Structure 1
Amino acid sequence: MSMENEIELVAVSARSSTFDATVETPTSQDTPRVETGNAALQSQEQLNDHQIEALPPVDGGKQAWLFLIGATYMETLIWGLPFSIGILHVYWTNTLFQGQGASAITLAATLQTGLLYMACAFFGPIFAAIPRWTKTLQVIGLIIGSVSMISSAFVTKPWHLIVTVGIFYPMSCACYFPCATLLFEWWHARRGFASGTMYAGTGVGGTVFPFIMQALLERFSYKAAMIALGLGYLVTGSIALIPIKRRIPLSRYDQDGISRIRPRIDWSFGKRKALWLGMMVIGVTSLGNFVPSLWLPSYADDLGLHSPNGTALVAILNAATAIGNGLLGYLSDKMSLRSTIFISCAGSAAACAFLWGFGKNSGVLVTFAIIFGLLGPSFSAVWSKIIHLVSRDDPAVTALTFSIFAFVRGVGNMSSGPISESLLKYDVLRGVIGAYGYKNYGILLIYTSVTILTGGAAGFFFNKIQSV
């Protein structure tokens, strides 16, 4: 082979590489012809003229950290209200609509969180089909979430809460979904840490929102409180959306705005055991993990606790969740998946069964809130490792798997509300030794503990599943 031909092959090979940079792939018409030594030199000069766009680094760097900060704040903003809904649940029940529409109020509270998860299954395919509209859809979702909170300030009947807070607020999932899925582009080796940090935003929001809402309700009025929350939601969320963007630009796949290469979905992921096992673990644990956040304020009110009251207990639980997400995310990077699941489920189930079950004073209930917050709601930090087993880092499959898991968790959350409310109608454990669970809460605590522990038992089967 002549020297000229060797140079030509090197040039074509370099120009075809797209692994770490965006370059222009040559066609048969613009491939340089090697006729003389000067022609070969000219071909090399043409190669050097091409602009190579290097991708930002993963697992660190300014843009990766800004993305994580923005995603964490969006997590705080979107999930802060649902994870502190127990405060509004008490206000709606005891003040705004006292003596009426208890079932509608509970449904609105559980719909908000449940549909927020389930909406991921709706928005996932939309973002995959029209990726150029990602930022636009995020802004639309932010506006809908803001309007839903402002409109809830003007409700006059319990069922109005179902429409405003229960149905429209979950559309803000359009704001949140890209934060969770694009994180897989920015973080790899430290993905557990990054996802745990982002999900910790839920705990931060759940810690801050109860005090904000309580202060607004006491100092102003319900109407002023919800309007202020809605406006603050819109303004701060718009700023946080700025660094939420792709690491791999769409120009890598598209040229001149016309799609030339579309990622194909490997639908065989639906046959992988990790997918079905993950759905089982997430679905069963979700039936119990949301119960404490919903009923702990009511439990504290029934006990007549004032220091701390129900608001403070929920805030403590959510603050522990912020730390727990980071902890479980870190452990998922260092330990086996089944060990991390066991620590989360066994610890949180035991806390429900014993600490909440026999908790009749503030000290025991504070201890319960801390332990359960560290290990229970923080289970979402383990998702990244399960998703990795299913998707094997295929971006399209990653988004679909996250959508499926979020939908399953939403079903569990929505089911836990009506189930728990029905269980509270039975007082079969009233008067037993130790008055377990106080009044009629005993059967609810057993249900919560059993569902979480069952999910942990299913997680043991992950030991037989390995990523390839």
Structure 2
Amino acid sequence: MAPDLKTSVQVSEQPVLGPADNTPGPSIPPSIVPSRSSTELERKSTSRSHNSVYDEEAAAPRSAFSIIEPPVALSAITTHTTHVRDPNPDDTFPDGGTRSWLVVLGCFFLLMSSYGMMNSTGVLQSYFATHQLSDYSTSAVGWIPGVFTFFGLVLSVQVGPLFDRYGPTGILIFGTGCYVAGLLLLAECTLYWHFILTLGVLTGTGAAFLSTVAMAVVPHWFDRKVGMALGTAMAGAGLGGVTFPLVLRAGFSRFGYKWAIRLIALLVGIMCALGIALVRSRLPKGQSRSSINLRAFKDTRFTWLTLGTFSLELQVFAGLGLYPTYVVMQGFSTSTSVILLSLQNVCSTIGRLIAGGFADKYGRINTQTTLIIIGVFAIFVIWLPFGNTLPGLYVFSCVFGLASGSFLSLAPACIGQISKASEVGGRFGICYSVVSLATLLSIPIGGEMLENVGKQAMVAFLGGVLIVGLGMFLMARWACLGYRWRWHAKI
């Protein structure tokens, strides 16, 4: 009998009797029990060892940052890192290689065009408020980028399952067509409802198709390095937030409004074409079990992460949309507001790249909560007391940009960490369909506060929302530990 099957055999402790005289015969090797197969016993032995993991881990020594492994029945930690998940070959991740990083590069361009424009809506809003829509209030103009971001996220609940079933190429082609057509029509807009339909609805729909695929496809290729991979892809959003404001600023002054928007449409078309060429799905088409399934909220980890992401997106998009207007209201020029917004996006790009590596090493939720604390510090210690000075605004743009870079990039990594690879698209869509409500209301609410309550109250409100988000992510971390708190757990 091979030595590796000893867990599935029983050893006879009595000597074997001879066939004739009932005298003890020679000892023989252990025999397999005939009424129970070795496969069945091995499976039961494995099940017993799995169920005892959680009880034994408290007494076993662990390193400073170790993954806490729950019992099979407890939904409490990443499914990509525990040894209790089903042996599905689709859940074996390349975690590198030329093909994987080409997918990340394609997602970089897709997020540069979609989220990059979302990060630049403050420049467009400021221009609309002083030109075509000068007769409207700040909060009324704020609904335009609000609707754009809302459609860019709410449709994820439909796009995610479509991506899981049919792959990325067709979805990306359709999204590119909507996006570029919306921008070309935006160049011709003169009335308020024109902007709502073109930038808000049509361009937002295109952004939803592009960004959902870009965020959902990366966890198909990465597991241990998914934080770094998503951070690298999301760096495209930060770079887009730098590029688009500078291009718009130069285009408005040199070529006028129409040709500036057309130039943006050309850049977006090139980026999307590169994304279509590079992005591929790893899972076979039609084999995904993902669907629009609200039962995902039975997983408390997913519920807390969704609520936390809701708070982060409300704060981030309200800040990005109103920051240029805030700077102008402080008495500084429009050029200064564009430079400060671009500086924040530059630092945000750097923050995403750095945060991804730290997240893979120390835990994604751990890294996210730490950077949220830094963001709260930047708002209440720098922006609130020194927001009326130019040095204070420059320091805030740098510090908050570095911290907030992870707010959007690590949230999908956290969702992917607690989900099966085949469920990532669906769960991502459900999460961001809820989060889209925050982006719809963030800029109008902030604009109303900016006009009627004051600049300081708006800043304090944004800081308070960030504190709420911090609490939600701490609750998600607690849930990942089975509501047994451990400071040194890698979560």
Normalising TM by the smaller chain, what interval? 0.7 to 0.9
Partner of 1:253: none
Residues 196-249 of structure 1: CA deviation (Å, up to 9, x unaligned):
111111111001110001111110110111122213322332133111012244
The CA distance in 2 between the partners of 1:141 and 1:310, in whole Å, is 31
Structure-2 separation of matches of 1:236 and 1:294: 23
CA contact (8 A) 1:105 1:161 kept: no
Q: Is the 8 A contact 1:124 1:177 kept in 2?
A: yes
Q: Once superposed, what is the RMSD of the aligned Cα atoms?
A: 2.5
Given the alignment of the two structures, is residue 275 of structure 1 paired with residue 299 of structure 2, yes or no? no
* Equivalences for residues 352-367 of structure 1 within 5 A: 352-357=379-384, 358-367=386-395
**How far did residue 150 of structure 1 move?**
0.7
Which of 247, 258, 282 aligns to 1:247? It is 282
Rounded Cα–Cα distance in structure 2 between residues aligned with 1:240 and 1:332: 25
Output one character per residue of 1:395-428: Cα deviation in whole Å (capped at 9) or x when no partner: 332111111222232211112122112212334x
C-alpha spacing 1:354/1:164, structure 2 compared with 1 (3 Å): same
Task: Please tell me the residue identity of whatever aligns with 2:154.
Answer: M
Task: Give the Cα separation in 2 of the matches to 1:182 and 1:152.
Answer: 30
CA distance in 2, matches of 1:288, 1:441: 15
Of the two structures, which has the highest relative contact order with CA contacts closer than 8 Å and spacing of 6 or more?
Answer: 2
Conserved? CA contact 2:187–2:259, under 8 Å: yes
Contact kept in structure 2, 1:73 and 1:240, CA below 8 Å? yes
Shift in Å, 1:457: 1.8
Counterpart residue type for residue 110 of structure 1: G
Measure, in 2, the Cα distance between the counterparts of 1:298 and 1:124: 34
Matched positions, count: 390
1:135 is displaced (CA, Å) by 1.1
Pick aligned residue for 2:193 from 134, 159, 166: 159
1:90: Cα distance to partner? Answer: 0.9
Work out whether residues 97 and 158 of structure 1, in 8 Å CA contact, stay in contact via their aligned partners in 2. yes
Partner of 1:379: 407
**Is residue 274–residue 389 contact of structure 1 (8 Å, CA) maintained in 2?**
no
The answer (yes or no) to whether the contact 1:87–1:311 under 8 Å persists in 2 is yes
Residue in structure 2 matching 1:459, options 462, 470, 473: 473
Distance 1:363 1:307 in 2: 16
Amino acid at match of 2:251: L
State the 1:56 CA deviation: 11
Match of 2:171 in 1: 137
Q: Give the whole-Å Cα distance in 1 for the aligned partners of 2:346 and 2:425.
A: 28
Range 300-309 or range 87-96, more displaced: 300-309
Equivalence for 1:217: 252
Query: Who is 1:149 aligned against?
Result: 183
Structure 1 counterpart of 2:155: 119
Aligned-pair CA distance for 1:324: 1.3
Aligned sequence identity (%) = 21
> Partner of 2:355 in structure 1?
328
Cα 1:100–1:418 change in 2 (3 A) is: closer
Counterpart in 2 of 1:344? 371
Partner of 2:57: none
Counterpart for residue 435 of structure 2? 409
| 1:205 partner letter | G
Alpha-carbon separation, structure 2, partners of 1:272 and 1:224: 49
Residue 304 of structure 1: SS of its match in structure 2?
Answer: coil
Which residue does 1:85 correspond to in 2? 121
**Aligned match for 1:198, one of 214, 221, 233:** 233
SS in 2 for 1:290: helix
Structure 1 unaligned spans of 5+? 1-53, 251-258, 428-439
Evaluate the alpha carbon distance shift between residue 97 and residue 426 of structure 1 in structure 2; reply closer, same or farther with a 3 A threshold: closer
Question: CA 1:264 to 1:387, structure 2 compared with 1: closer, same or farther past 3 Å?
Answer: closer
Note the C-alpha offset of 1:359: 2.0
Query: TM-score, length-normalised on structure 1?
Result: 0.78
Q: Which residue of 2 aligns with 1:418?
A: 444
Please say which of residues 231-240 and 162-171 is displaced more in the overlay: 231-240
- 1:268–1:406: structure 2 CA closer, same or farther, 3 Å change rule? closer
Q: Measure how far apart 1:101 and its partner are.
A: 6.0
Once the two structures are overlaid, the 10-residue window that deviates more, 456-465 or 291-300, is 456-465
Distance (Å, rounded) in 2 between the aligned partners of 1:285 and 1:80: 17
Aligned to 2:37: none
**1:140 Cα offset (Å):** 1.2
Structure-2 residue corresponding to 1:441: 455
Change in 2 beyond 3 A, CA 1:262/1:342: closer
Over alpha carbons, which structure has the higher Rg? 2
Q: Which amino acid aligns with 1:316?
A: L
Q: Does 2:429 align with 1:395? A: no
Q: Does the 8 Å CA contact 1:118/1:407 hold for their aligned counterparts? A: yes
Shift of 1:139: 0.6
Give the C-alpha shift of residue 288 in structure 1.
1.6
Instruction: Tell me the residue number matched to 1:42.
Output: none
Question: Which residue in the other structure is 1:69 paired with?
Answer: 105
1:143/1:326 CA distance change after superposition, 3 Å:
same
* Alpha-carbon distance in structure 2 between the residues aligned to 1:73 and 1:237: 7
Provide the secondary structure at the position in 2 that maps to 1:154. coil
Runs of 4+ deviating beyond 6 Å: 54-57, 264-267
Change (3 A) 1:374 1:288: same
Using the alignment, how far apart are the partners of 2:290 and 2:201 within structure 1? 33
The 8 Å contact of residues 104 and 159 in structure 1, kept in 2 or not, is answered as: no
